[in-house]
Amino acid sequence: MSKLKSLVALMSLASIGAMASDVITLEDIPKIKSVRDSVISPSGDHIAFTRTLPRELYVDNNGGSYSGLFITDTKGNARPFITGKVNVGAIEWSADGKFVYFLAKFKDEKFTQLYRIPVDGGERERVLSLKDTSISRYDISPDGKQVALLAMPAEDKSDKKLKELGFQAEVYEMDLKNKQLFITDLTVQHKAVQLNAVDIAGYVSDMNWAADNAQLLVKTQPTALIDDSYTKAQWHVMNLADQKITMSIATEGKLGSAEFSYNGKYIAVIGTQDKHDPATGRLYLADVNSGEIQDWLPNFAGHVSDIEWSHKSSKLNFIANVGTESIVANINPGSNNYKTQLQAGKIIASSLSLSNSDKTIGVKGHSAQHPNESFIIRAKKLSKITDSNPWLNDKRFAKQESISIKARDGVEVGGILVYPLDYKKGQRYPLIMQVHGGPESHEKNGWITAYSKPGQMGAARGYAVFYPNYRGSTGKGVEYSKLGQNDYAGAEFDDLVDMKNYLVETGLVDTKRVGITGGSYGGYASAWAATKLTEHFAASVMFVGISNQLSKFGTTDISNEMHLVHARSYPWDKWQYYLERSPIYWAHQSKTPLLIMHGKDDPRVHPAQSMEMYRYMKVQGKDVRLVYYPGEGHGNRKAAAQYDYSLRLMRWMDNYLMAGNKDMPDYKLDHKAKLEALKAQAKEESQDKA
């Protein structure tokens, strides 16, 4: 095959949109890089960051993106330190700024270990490894002399042998192992060590040093169960001299991060208002001496997502999501008023870190034009430091904005609207409604294009794409996030219809060409839209979604959390209600073609939920298809499964909303042709070089 024929073969496999170099295409999505971790140096002059390296489709073995380590000055002069097919994470600067520590497992290593690399040049050095187990988390003491580690107990060799002999019976939710806390000197150990775990009850999930190096905040939960992490977690203050708990922070409901103030007088905690609050986001201040805990930002109409105390003062710096935007601000103990350092509408910020002088704030952030990058804030001025995808600068972006409307009962709802690229006023377009999960989550006005989210890619293909923040979403305070409770698929999903109707009434959307998709609770919405609300939607793609609220309760790993922050009841309290709030109950009336996709190893929403939906639809003669992804859980993590999902999602929407077809598209995707074309191209290039 000539080089020209090889190129034609490859191009024939791509969509027409993929051939346009100035728009974001489906083929671009697997190539997008982003900053994963970002930490400012003690001096404030450098940022250590990790950046994803996507796997090359049809070339690399299956798996998630790689992650390399880089260090940049504040002018953006970045240097690669550890790159290639590696996975570097959990980066932390040494107290003197001479090293960057990180966790990694390199080639031929069985367990994740603690490494460091000198900033001024030199090879990486293994600092600490535990015998027969991986380090999952670490935190270095402020003076740099000690390190706290979290790890699971090493596997018993007898248990391993018994498994090899076939004794593999599993007693469900029993014989669970607790993650343990270890504290040791931060010295280079040339051999794997076996440390004694701190004697503390339960599963340890997090820790944080006090500035005096004498105390440690420790987060525990009764067992390893995810339900316990949601509903029964607790923060404790540990005195390191005798490794005894001196104080427990008594908050109710879900718990986020916690951190000592620099002077040790206070502890800031991100938590919830009560056990029925669905998401962390309340900011609490605990007095270390008295044990008194107060709501630091009462009635705050947003959700605090990250905290970091100043080093030279008593100020707490924090990031909060407010509506569809985010802010960076600070606040003093004794005051309920905060001062904004970064106004809403700049970036969607996360990963807060401070220089020792407190004059430089490091954050990670994304916007409508780019995924996560490293930024600094100095004197309230925001500067973008990294550029992970320079090729995006040559792309055209569709208009993207936040909108707000009144639902039928007067509640204010809204979301993010991406207009079709080259939108012409007066012309109606097909719409893809992308529904977020949770429902205790919300869409932010930043980078919203991903393998399962059409965003700018969908806009480039001629779609309007809308991301609704229906009632029950976060970002608007606790009361709003509770509005959907005890009303599964009620007013919360009526909001979707109201927002769809609004977009039709504005003249933007063709009411007969509306598709819907989403994952988890968004998958539930997509199934509900294909059945109970079928007259409003011409196509639906359900991802890891709920089809039967009765069997969902009995097969999930978060049944207690579902009861407390979603249903506010149990199935046996009202069997018929749970059944009627299940999409399978309405399958008989469906006129909406439904594509179902699900990870076969999903612990949150059991894959049987998708099987039930498929069977109820198919037996009644409905247009339905079910795709399982082996080795994937509650969302696809590996490159091939993500790409396959994107292809199927957009083909389903194109088939019904663009082409207007009545029959389902072919169930096959021609991955083989793409593989053979790439092989032929590689062979051709090899021969040309020879």
Tell me: the pLDDT tens digits for 314-334? 999 999 999 999 999 999 999
Torsion (CA) 647, 652, 657, 660 in degrees, nearest 10: 120
Label residue 681 exposed, middle or buried (CB < 10 Å: 0-12, 13-18, 19+): middle
- The answer to whether residue 423 is domain-embedded is yes
- Residue 352, pLDDT > 50, answer yes
Neighbours of 22 (CB within 10 A): 9
Segment 178-205 mean pLDDT: 96
325-341 burial, b at 16+ Cβ within 10 Å, e below that, comes to: bbbbbbbebeeeebeeb
CA 619 to CA 530: how far, in whole Å? 16
Domain count, the chain: 1
**Residue 478 belongs to a domain with what CATH number?**
3.40.50.1820
Tell me whether strands 429-435 and 509-519 are parallel, antiparallel or unpaired. parallel
Do 364 and 35 contact (CB within 8 A), yes or no? yes
- pLDDT for 452: 98
* HSE toward the beta carbon, residue 105, CA cutoff 13 A: 10
- pLDDT for 2: 38
Closest CA to 136 of 177, 188, 173: 177
- The answer to whether residue 173 is domain-embedded is no
Neighbours of 321 (CB within 10 A): 22
Q: Collect all residues with Cβ–Cβ distance below 8 Å to 585 and sequence separation of at least 6.
A: 531, 579
CA 452 to CA 30: how far, in whole Å? 11
- pLDDT for 267: 97
**Dmax of the chain from CA atoms?**
79
- pLDDT for 679: 86
Closest CA to 148 of 125, 115, 180: 180
| Residue in the structure block whose two tokens are 């409770």 | 485
Structure tokens at 143: 């003076």
Closest CA to 94 of 186, 211, 210, 185: 186
- Residue 219, pLDDT > 80, answer yes
Segment 120-146 mean pLDDT: 96
- Residue 1, pLDDT > 90, answer no
Residue 327 gets the label, from left (phi > 0), alpha (psi -120 to 50) or beta, of beta
CA 321 to CA 301: how far, in whole Å? 9
- pLDDT for 682: 82
- pLDDT for 506: 97
- pLDDT for 13: 37
In the chain, count H helices and then E strands. 13, 35
- Residue 381, pLDDT > 70, answer yes
What strands, in cross-sheet order, belong to the sheet with 146-151?
A: 135-140, 146-151, 180-185
CA 181 to CA 547: how far, in whole Å? 40
- Provide the pLDDT confidence category of residue 667 given band limits of 50, 70 and 90: very high
Give the number of residues written for the chain. 690
- The answer to whether residue 478 is domain-embedded is yes
- Residue 20, pLDDT > 80, answer no
CA 196 to CA 144: how far, in whole Å? 21
Q: Which structural domain, as residue segments, surrounds residue 546?
A: 396-672
- Residue 508, pLDDT > 90, answer yes
- The answer to whether residue 308 is domain-embedded is no
- The answer to whether residue 324 is domain-embedded is no
CA 396 to CA 418: how far, in whole Å? 13
Structure tokens at 667: 């169930």
Do 440 and 303 contact (CB within 8 A), yes or no? no
- Provide the pLDDT confidence category of residue 251 given band limits of 50, 70 and 90: confident
Tell me the CA distances in angstroms from 374 to 136, 384, 437, 523, one per residue in order: 24, 6, 27, 32
Neighbours of 389 (CB within 10 A): 17
- pLDDT for 175: 87
- The answer to whether residue 608 is domain-embedded is yes
DSSP 348-395: EEEEEEE-TTSS-EEEEEEETTEEEEEEEEETTEEEE---S-GGGGGS
- pLDDT for 16: 37
Segment 647-675 mean pLDDT: 96
| Mean pLDDT, rounded, of the chain | 95
- pLDDT for 542: 98
pLDDT digits (tens, 9 = 90+) for 443-495: 999 999 999 999 999 999 999 999 999 999 999 999 999 999 999 999 999 99
- The answer to whether residue 613 is domain-embedded is yes
What's the whole-model pTM score? 0.94
- Residue 165, pLDDT > 70, answer yes
CA 323 to CA 445: how far, in whole Å? 9
CA 649 to CA 542: how far, in whole Å? 9
- Residue 260, pLDDT > 90, answer yes
- Provide the pLDDT confidence category of residue 594 given band limits of 50, 70 and 90: very high
- pLDDT for 681: 86
Closest CA to 447 of 389, 368, 390, 386: 368
| Residue in the structure block whose two tokens are 């090493």 | 154
SS3 159: helix
| Residue in the structure block whose two tokens are 């046996």 | 572
pLDDT digits (tens, 9 = 90+) for 529-588: 999 999 999 999 999 999 999 999 999 999 999 999 999 999 999 999 999 999 999 999
- pLDDT for 291: 87
- pLDDT for 202: 96
CA 598 to CA 605: how far, in whole Å? 9
Segment 365-369 mean pLDDT: 98
SS3 652: helix
Residue percentage of the chain with pLDDT more than 90: 92
Segment 232-239 mean pLDDT: 96
Residue percentage of the chain with pLDDT more than 70: 97
CA 162 to CA 145: how far, in whole Å? 41
- pLDDT for 688: 81
CA 381 to CA 225: how far, in whole Å? 43
- pLDDT for 507: 97
